[in-house]
Amino acid sequence: AKEAGRNNVQFYTRDITDRAAERLRLEADLRCGIAHDALDVHYQPKIDLATGRIVGAEALLRWLHPERGWIPPSQFIGIAEETGLIVPLAEQVMRKACGVATRWNARGEEARHIAVNLSPSQFHVSHLPGVVQQVLQETGCRPDWLELEITEGLLLVNHAATLGTLNALSQMGVRIAIDDFGTGYSALSYLTRFPIATLKIDRSFTQPTSGSQKNRVLVEAIVAMAHGVGLEVVAEGVETRELAEWLAGIGCDMGQGYLWSGAIPAHALLAMETHARGG
């Protein structure tokens, strides 16, 4: 037993060093990938539930690693945040997304926005309104074609600075969305204190689970509350037609999910018809 114990310790320490080495490798590769533009942005359409029309899209990072293939954001966003790489990376994402929004809206149909995810560290270090202003100018993107998704946690710390940044963005005409709503410490007062346009209900509320029935009660309440204070609501993770119809029935504004489409390359988004299939 003593032997086995010692072996376990050895395994454990080797496991830790392996993981540290693996992380360092990934960090170096990420640096290289950013420098060589190996990270791409894909777009997931957002559907107006009442009309079935595509009204926007969310920009989602995709990394094609030279040896490992596609690496999901969950495996590198954290590293990017801790190393500060998120700042140049996020600017690339925003520039690409705004360029796509400009091309998408060039046809002069009803305005469609592209939503970009903002990480908390990026929000604080990078003089965000100035960067956004510059990207909009360079890409010819109208401010209301851009939506910025932030998470609830951001609103709980450093109120004055956060409020200042959000007000500056909102006054420029950029829309602010709360991402993953319902998973953080929802202090509901922030919904009226900050200039928020959209709530995105986290997909844990829409995925089929044992708690589905209760989750529907919550979703209905969130939609009613959001509308009561003048916000639009997006349901994330919509995978079935039945759910989409139910959401439309309770007046949820928009849906996003595999029922219509996952995230697709820019050219595919631009080639999509106005009406979503599936829904």
Q: Which residues bind ligand C2E (CB under 6 A)?
A: 44, 60-61, 72-74, 77, 90, 93, 117, 119, 179-180, 203, 237-239, 256-258, 262-263
CB atoms inside a 10 Å sphere around CB 91: 16
Interface mask toward Ca ion for 171-210; x: CB under 5 A = --------xx------------------------------
In the block, which residue shows the tokens 């510059």?
A: 134
Residue 93 binding partner per list Ca ion, ligand C2E, none, with a CB distance cut-off of 5 to 8 Å that depends on partner kind: ligand C2E
Q: Is residue 117 a contact point for Ca ion (CB under 5 A)?
A: yes
Residue 257 binding partner per list Ca ion, ligand C2E, none, with a CB distance cut-off of 5 to 8 Å that depends on partner kind: ligand C2E
Beta carbon of residue 64, minimum distance to ligand C2E (angstroms, whole number): 14
Beta carbon of residue 98, minimum distance to ligand C2E (angstroms, whole number): 13
Nearer to ligand C2E, 226 or 263 (CB): 263
CB 116 within 8 A of CB 57: no
The one-letter amino acid at 48: D
* Segment near Ca ion (CB under 5 A); pick from 16-24, 223-231, 245-253, 271-279: 245-253
Residue 253 binding partner per list ligand C2E, Ca ion, none, with a CB distance cut-off of 5 to 8 Å that depends on partner kind: Ca ion
Beta carbon of residue 101, minimum distance to Ca ion (angstroms, whole number): 16
Q: Is residue 152 a contact point for Ca ion (CB under 5 A)?
A: no
- DSSP character at residue 36: T
Residue 152 binding partner per list ligand C2E, Ca ion, none, with a CB distance cut-off of 5 to 8 Å that depends on partner kind: none
Instruction: Say how far apart CA 190 and CA 196 lie, in whole Å.
Output: 9
Residue with the CB atom nearest ligand C2E in the bound state: 257
Beta carbon of residue 206, minimum distance to ligand C2E (angstroms, whole number): 8
Instruction: Say how far apart CA 195 and CA 174 lie, in whole Å.
Output: 10
CA-closest candidate to residue 48, choices 262, 248, 266: 248
Strands (E) located in the chain: 39-48, 54-65, 69-71, 113-117, 146-151, 175-181, 198-201, 232-235, 254-255, 264-265
Nearer to ligand C2E, 42 or 103 (CB): 42
Instruction: Say how far apart CA 141 and CA 146 lie, in whole Å.
Output: 8
Nearer to ligand C2E, 27 or 180 (CB): 180
Beta carbon of residue 214, minimum distance to Ca ion (angstroms, whole number): 20
Type and span of the H or E element at 246: helix 241-249
Cβ within 8 Å of residue 234, ≥6 positions away: 46, 177, 198, 199, 200, 201, 252, 253, 254, 255, 256
**What residue ranges bind Ca ion (CB under 5 A)?**
117, 149, 179-180, 236, 253
